[in-house]
Structure formats: structure tokens, C-alpha cells
Structure 1
Amino acid sequence: MTQSASPQATNGKPGPMLAADGTPLKRSLARALRRQKMRALLLIAPLLLFVLITFIAPIADMLFRSVENQIVEETLPETVPLLQQWDHDASELPPEPVWTAFYIDLVLAEERKLHTRLGSRLNYEMTGLSSLFRRTGRAVGRFDTDTYTDQFTALDPTWEDAATWVAMFEDDTIREALPLTARTWDRWADYLVTDKNDNPAEEDVEDFLFTALYTDLTRDGVSVTGTTPRLQQAAGAVGDFETVSIMAQFEDADDDWVNPEVMRTIQTYSPPYTSGYFLNAVDMQLTPDGVEAREENQRIYGLLFKRTIFMSLTITLSCILLGYPVAWILANLPMRTSNLLMILVLLPFWTSLLVRTSAWKVMLQQQGVINDVLVWLGLVNDADRLVMINNQFGTIVAMTHILLPFMILPMYSVMQTIPPSYLRAAKSLGATNWTAFWRVYFPQSVPGIGAGSILVFILSIGYYITPEIVGGTTGTFISNRIAYHISSSLNWGLGAALGAILLAVVLLLYWAYDKIVGIDNVKLG
């Protein structure tokens, strides 16, 4: 007989237990446990990966989009740092260097067709900015800045040669002396190479490059000592150049640019991350002066959140009241009969959700089937037909019908496990039918009610197809606004913020349910 493990004596003292292969038993057990855990991990790895890709990653992306605001900083890299230094309380409009940087950024953004995206982003915060950026994008290339171009080329015609600029910015000394021009040239060259597949040395030198060069050469503390004679000549002559007001050019393009609120809005939403989306989602707004409440007639999201929670709870309660008797009957009928009736419960799953919702729209309308029956029975006057559609009532009725099977199935599966002998024992001890049900049967069915309630509530709070069709203006959910911002207005940041708040509300209610009822008491049978 082979011994699997035995203690080894050392100096008369018992040693550690050894496995059959001679290794210490403790180490052998630990290795076997690690292998077991690794096999279990490999088995669940596909499911874990699926959950990470389809659930965790989208939620993480949604949370990021709700605060992400990098489009302003990426589209206006020269304007944003200068605009952050502007004191909007001290002056109505930014100084000329800000407008010059904005002109350079907007020209390059228009070439890449990014100015419309920027306008759309800022339009969420101030109505009209989308069209303003679109109009100005068409005009910015025609700004009267060729004055600088003409004056530089009059000094030296080689300034018109792009090869001159390529050679100039290969010199680190010049790049250090002309930082704005160097960055502008790099962005322009990158656009030519990446987007147009052109050679920067063979293209025309644009007017905005000369504007950047003039701005650098007139900057306080600029020094071009040790650079090319051409650049030193230009530095000595720019003091006598005829100047151009870039702010006046923007004003000529559109009078709205001299509205201080435009630049204040850009300044407020220039950081790469913002709380503006979340503030909008709770009927607040981020302004240059801080957080403020929106006008009374613009506060819609708080109402939608309250309505969503109220109607979801109402739908859940309706499903409990209608589903409990059905589940009780199914659980107490003979198996053959209950299986036949279960087909009727599952029948709605075989019909399209859109068809079921549209059917309720036909039935609930004022000239629909239900009103016709009520008029025929004399319960309702033909001139006073009930309004049951495009309101909260219609949404509650349609969604209760759609979600009712999700309540019946968990309750039925739990009720099936309750032995009928418990009720008979209670009655034999003198309990009435009601007392036996309420004191014995109902407490054992609560886990099924809990499971069905969580299922129905979570499904209803995120529904948007049915409320969109039958809800009208007073029966829609917050999910309808989320779908609108994601698919129609394309305000993904606000849609993500609303979704994040809705997720937080659901988790909070789930936590409260766990504290009050206990999630361990929820069963599916």
C-alpha cells in the first residue's frame, strides 16, 4: 500500500507533511489550488471579455464623453492660452493679439473643415454660434491681411517663395525667435502633407503666415540677432509697416463678433474638461461668472427625471397588482393547464415591440376601440370621449402590458416552490383563508416580487420607444431626451451626462432596495 503523504523526521523532530512526489504537502495543495483557479478563470474569460467590451467599455466611454471638451483647445490652440489671460470683467472685448491668434486658428480650422464642428459644440452653450462660425469660415480666407504680405515681399521678393520658409524654420535659432510663426508654419505644413499630400516647399505662402510673422517681429523682447539678413532686415522695417485690425476684420465679416458674450463663451468652454454637460443636465449652466440656474422656462431635465422615476414606479406597481393573481393561478393549477396558460403569457414575446405599441395607439385614441366600446355601453358621451393617448396614462398602460411578463415569470417560478401543505397546515390550526395567505403564503412569495420589481423597474426607466410613440409631450421619459441628443442633435456630451445621472439614480435606488428589502431575498425560483 502506497502512502500519499508522510511526515519526515529531522533530528528526532517531525518534519513537514510530504506529498507522494516528495514536495511539501502545503506547497502541493497551494499549486493545485492555483491550477484550479486558473482553469476557472479560463472558463469564464470569454464571458468576462464580452462584458468588458459590451458593457464596461461603453459606460467608461459615456462617462468620459460627459466631461470631455477637447475640441475647443485642439481647434484653437493659439487662441485658448491668450483668451485664458483675458479679464472679461475689465474689458468688453479681448485685445488685438487674441483676435490675431483666433484668425490664424480659424483659417487653419476652415482648411481642415473643423470650424463647423467647433461651432456646433459652442452652439450647445450659446444659440447662434454654429451659423456664426459657418459664415465666418467662408469669409476668413478673404480677410484684408494681404497688406502684410505686400509689405514683406516689397522688402524682399524671396518672402513669396515657400522654399525660403522651409529653410528658415530648419534653423532652431529662428524657431526660438519666432515661436508663433514656427508653430503656424508647422501646422500649415502638416496639413499640406497629411491632408493634401502636397510639398510645402512648392505651395504658395498664405497671408496668415505673414500675419503671424508680423506679430512675432513686433512682440516685446523679440531678438533676431544671429539669424538671416533677410529676417534682420524685416525686423528693422516692421515698425513702419501699415497695420491691419484683425478685430475689425471679424466685425466686418459678422457684427455678432463684437458681442462680448461670444468670446466669453469660448473662454468659459476652452478647458479640455468641463462640468458644463452635467450642469445642463440638472438645469444649471456654466457661465463666465460661475454656475447659475437656468431660466424657469428652460428647466426641463429635472421634470423629466422626476416623471421618469414616478412613471417607472407606477408601472412596476401596476405589474405587481396585475401579475400577482396571474402568477398565483399558474402556480396552483395542474401542470398541464398552467403550461397551456403560460403560452398566453409568453405570446407577447413573439410579437414585435413596435407592433404592440402601435396597437395600443390605435386602441387608446379618441376614435379607437376602447372609446368606441365605452360609448356603445353608454358609459361615455360621444362628445366627451376620453383622452388616453399622448399622455402619461397611455404610456403607463402600454408599458404595463409590455413589461407584465417580466413580472409574472419571476413570481411564478418562486410560487411554484411554495409547498401547498403550508396553507393546509395553517388552516388546520384555525387560520382563515385570508390569514393563511397573508401570514404564510405571501411572505414566501416576496422574493419573486422583488426579482420582478427590479427587472421591470430597470427596464421601464430606460425605455424610450413606447413613450416616444404613445407618450406625447407629457408621457415621455428622460431616455427619450438621451436618444434625441445622441441621434438628432448630436450633443453626445449632454446625452452622456444624462445617461450617467440616470445610471447613478438607478444604482442609488438599487442600494436603497438592498438596504430596505435585502438583495439576498431576491429569487428567481
Structure 2
Amino acid sequence: MSQADATLTAPPPARREKLVTADGTPLRRALERANRRRKLTALALVAPLLAFILIFFAFPIAQMMWRSVDNPQIVNALPRTLQALETWDGQGIPDEPVFAALHADMLEDLDRPRREQAIGPLGIRLNYELSAARSAISRTSRDVPNFEAPFSDAFTDAHRLWGQPELWRIIKREGRPLTASYYVAALDREYDEAGNIVQRDENRRIYVSLFGRTLALSLAITFMTFALGFPIAYFLANLPMRYANLLMIAVLLPFWTSLLVRTSAWIVLLQQQGVINELLVNIGLISDGNRLNMIYNQTGTIIAMTHILLPFMVLPLYSVMRTIPVTYTRAAKSLGATPWTAFRRVYFPQTLPGIGAGGVLVFIISIGYYITPALVGGQSGRMISNEIARHIQQSLNWGLAAALGTMLLVGVLVLYWLYNRLVGADSLKLG
């Protein structure tokens, strides 16, 4: 028999035995089951943090962004009036059917329970667009049950604003569930009589300049913290560990002191009758009549916030510098480089991840800071966060505050995106 025939008639080889675990489960299935359990365990450990972020971070931000465009007040209060205004051309005051619809809407609203009435929110919303609109709504709502036809005369007699076309143009324009008027106001713009978006008068433009001031102050504070923090981190990184740890306590000491106490201390130091001015007068550097104005202005904001945010720059720098071997600069010097060249060409480039991390950290914190500018900034040192707080606490224009906050958030994200494109976020080292 030939070798080929023997091969054809040979019995098939035995099948490879399956790998199983001790209990007889196939090994592949056991590995998949173990991997699934490991993923579920990791998810269970992360779930509380994920829920915390969603509830206390993502959801409030989403609510803020929604409030910046939400506009239900006029739609809920004046449905008949808005329908009647659809045929109005915006010239002069509307015809009698519009006033009759307004009368019907107000009467219906007054019949509702007080907590469900929409007249109050309507007046507040219109007052954001036109001064005295709230008083016109409240005064008219008290007399509207006594109105008789012709209703146009009754309304114009109740308050002068009902005879002004501007109020009716606002009602028609803002009678939509969503609005862009908060963003228009946040950009120092307004609507003209034709409904076009135009720039406000110069004496009413505040928000764009505040955004610019906030950006400039944040950049100045970031630069100041870098200029002060780099030598401190370099000194600490080149000390023996036992001495560096002791001096690090001095860097971290501000974290153990109340922010309000630190800011108040700067008020005592920087005011015209404060410690610094008294010292300069006593040593003869300045005269008593030429005391430095260092508080309640941009100077006070920069000084106080630089002190408060300095640890956020020192810590990333120190963590990076501590890992740089001293042999690199020694090798550069041994090859003929001067100390300055060795520092500039060898040491400094290796600290860039720490500089980037500290700069991003300080800039993002400072651009949204509120307490310190409110206490020491005065009028020229105020930032956009103070204006957002004013609208939330005093003017109660939450829609405009939400629009300003959304613009600030988007601006920070854009700047971070630019940093990531130019430098790379993966190069950041926080420690």
C-alpha cells in the first residue's frame, strides 16, 4: 500500500479537548462571566459619583441653559391677545379687538387662584424689556373688572403705556415659548422698532466690557501667580525633602484659613490708612497726601486673588519639577552650556506640563470668581460673576443671569478647546 493510500485510510485525529474550569464550565464562558462581574462591580463603585455629578453638576447647568431661552410668561398670560396681534402691522396702537382680547385674558386670569395667576410673572417679564411695564400691568389688573367697551380707551386711561406702540411690539415679539432676548441683552444689543437687532447706547453697554475685563484680569492673575509661583516651586524642588515638606506647609497655609478672613486682611493692608500705606509714609517713600489707592479697584482684585490662587500654581509646578533629574542640567553645563542656557534649553521645557496645568487651573478658577472681586474690587474691579449674582439676588432677572452664565461657560470651553488644539490637554500634569 502506498503512503497516500495509508493517509486516506487512516482514522481521523482525535478532537481537541475543550478547556474547562474545575466545575466543568467552559473556560471561555467563565472568563466572560468574570469580566462581566468585574465591570458591574466597577460600575457600582462609580455609580454614586456619577449620580452626584449628574444631579448636582450636569442638571443645574442644563437648567441654567434652558432658563436662558425659556419664555413662558407672556404665552401663559395672554393667549387671546397674542392671537389677535398676529394681524397687527406694528404701526400705531392695535385695534379694538386686541384690547378686547387683552381684557378677556386679564379677567380669566383674575378668576384663577392667586398662586396660579400669570399677571405677576407677566409684569416682571415685560419690565425686563420696558421700564414701568410692571406697574402698568399691576395697576391695570386692579381696575380691569370695571372696564367697559370701548376697551382701548379704558386701557389707555388706566396707564399711559397701553397707548405706546413699543409695549405692544414687545408683547408680540416676546409672545413665544422660546426667546433670544436675554442673549441679545447680554451682548449689549436691543431690538429697534423694525425688530432688527442693533447696538445699545454707549452709556448702557456694560456686559461686553465686563467680559473683556474679566478675561484681562484672569490673564493678569494667571501671569502673576506664575511669576511668583515658579521661583517658589523651583526653590522647593531643589531642597532636601525634609525642608521642602516644612516649607510646603507655608504654601498650603492659605487653604486652612477662611477665604473671607484672607480677603478682609487684604482690605486692612491695602486701604489708604492701612498698614502698607502707613509704612510707605513713615519711611518717606510717599507723602501723606499721596497715599496709594490699592483697594476697591482692579489693583486690589489682582493682589488679593493672586494671593488666594497662588497655591494652585505652585503645587502643579512643584510636582513636575520634583521629577526632573538634576543630572540633565549638570550634563548641559559639562558640555559647555552656561547656567542660563542650561535652564532655558534643558530645564524650563520640562516644566511646561506643570505650567500648563497651573495656568489652566488658575485661569478657570479666577474667571468665575465672585467673593474677592465683590469685597475688594469696587466698581473698576468687578467681574462678570458679580453682575450675574446681582441679577440673581437683586434684579431677579434670572433669564439674563442664565444667559450671562451660559456665555461664560461656553467661553471657558472654547478657550480650553483652543489650548487643547495648540498645546494638548494630555500634556497637563496636576501631580
TM-score when normalising by structure 1:
0.75
15 and 248 in structure 1: CA distance in 2 versus 1, 3 angstrom threshold: farther
Q: What CA deviation, in whole Å up to 9, does each residue of 1:421-473 have, x standing for no partner? A: 22222222232222222222211211111111111101100011111111111
Equivalent residue for 2:43, pick from 41, 44, 57: 41
Give 1 or 2 for the bigger CA radius of gyration.
Answer: 1
Contact 2:73–2:118 (8 Å) recurs in 1: no
Equivalent residue for 2:238, pick from 332, 339, 364: 332
SS of aligned partner of 1:411: helix
Cα shift at 1:14: 6.3
Contact 2:263–2:372 (8 Å) recurs in 1: yes
SS of aligned partner of 1:292: strand
| Pair 1:273-2:275 in alignment | no
Q: RMSD of the alignment, in Å? A: 2.0
Q: Distance in 2 between matches of 1:50 and 1:511?
A: 25
Cα shift at 1:250: 0.7
5 Å-filtered alignment, 1:471-486, equals: 471-486=377-392
Q: For residue 65 of structure 1, what is the aligned residue in structure 2?
A: 67
Q: Distance in 1 between matches of 2:65 and 2:216?
A: 25
Q: For residue 411 of structure 2, what is the aligned residue in structure 1?
A: 505
Letter in 1 for 2:159: D
Q: What CA deviation, in whole Å up to 9, does each residue of 1:93-124 have, x standing for no partner? A: 11222111211222333453432221111111
Q: Distance in 2 between matches of 1:486 and 1:110?
A: 28
Equivalent residue for 2:363, pick from 457, 461, 476: 457
Cα shift at 1:17: 5.8
> More deviation in 17-26 or 28-37?
17-26
Q: For residue 79 of structure 2, what is the aligned residue in structure 1?
A: 77
Q: For residue 256 of structure 1, what is the aligned residue in structure 2?
A: 161
Aligned residues: 414
Letter in 1 for 2:70: E
5 Å-filtered alignment, 1:81-480, equals: 81-89=83-91, 92-111=92-111, 112=114, 113-143=117-147, 145=148, 244-287=149-192, 289-480=195-386
SS of aligned partner of 1:50: helix
> More deviation in 343-352 or 23-32?
23-32
Q: Distance in 2 between matches of 1:47 and 1:269?
A: 40
Letter in 2 for 1:61: Q
Cα shift at 1:29: 4.3
Cα shift at 1:371: 1.4
Contact 1:16–1:24 (8 Å) recurs in 2: no
- Unaligned stretches of 5+ residues in structure 2: 1-11
> More deviation in 256-265 or 286-295?
286-295
Q: What CA deviation, in whole Å up to 9, does each residue of 1:257-302 have, x standing for no partner? A: 1111111111111101001111111111245522222112111111
426 and 94 in structure 1: CA distance in 2 versus 1, 3 angstrom threshold: same
Q: What CA deviation, in whole Å up to 9, does each residue of 1:142-192 have, x standing for no partner? A: 32x4xxxxxxxxxxxxxxxxxxxxxxxxxxxxxxxxxxxxxxxxxxxxxxx
Cα shift at 1:419: 2.0
- Unaligned stretches of 5+ residues in structure 1: 1-10, 146-243
Q: Distance in 2 between matches of 1:292 and 1:15?
A: 81
Q: What CA deviation, in whole Å up to 9, does each residue of 1:328-378 have, x standing for no partner? A: 111111222222211111111122111211221222122221111122222
Letter in 1 for 2:120: T
Cα shift at 1:510: 0.4
Contact 1:16–1:25 (8 Å) recurs in 2: no
TM-score when normalising by structure 2:
0.91
> More deviation in 285-294 or 355-364?
285-294
SS of aligned partner of 1:94: coil
Q: Distance in 2 between matches of 1:253 and 1:15?
A: 97
Cα shift at 1:36: 2.6
Letter in 2 for 1:281: A
Q: Distance in 2 between matches of 1:45 and 1:85?
A: 55
Q: Distance in 1 between matches of 2:283 and 2:49?
A: 56
Q: For residue 55 of structure 2, what is the aligned residue in structure 1?
A: 53
52 and 245 in structure 1: CA distance in 2 versus 1, 3 angstrom threshold: same
Contact 1:277–1:494 (8 Å) recurs in 2: yes
Q: What CA deviation, in whole Å up to 9, does each residue of 1:213-252 have, x standing for no partner? A: xxxxxxxxxxxxxxxxxxxxxxxxxxxxxxx211111122
16 and 445 in structure 1: CA distance in 2 versus 1, 3 angstrom threshold: farther
SS of aligned partner of 2:190: strand
Q: What CA deviation, in whole Å up to 9, does each residue of 1:37-58 have, x standing for no partner? A: 2222121111111000011101
> More deviation in 503-512 or 367-376?
367-376
Contact 2:364–2:412 (8 Å) recurs in 1: yes
Q: For residue 4 of structure 2, what is the aligned residue in structure 1?
A: none
SS of aligned partner of 1:347: helix
Letter in 1 for 2:108: L
55 and 110 in structure 1: CA distance in 2 versus 1, 3 angstrom threshold: same
Q: Distance in 2 between matches of 1:260 and 1:16?
A: 90
251 and 30 in structure 1: CA distance in 2 versus 1, 3 angstrom threshold: same
SS of aligned partner of 1:285: strand
Q: Distance in 2 between matches of 1:266 and 1:15?
A: 82
Identity within the alignment, %: 56
Letter in 2 for 1:98: V
SS of aligned partner of 2:357: helix
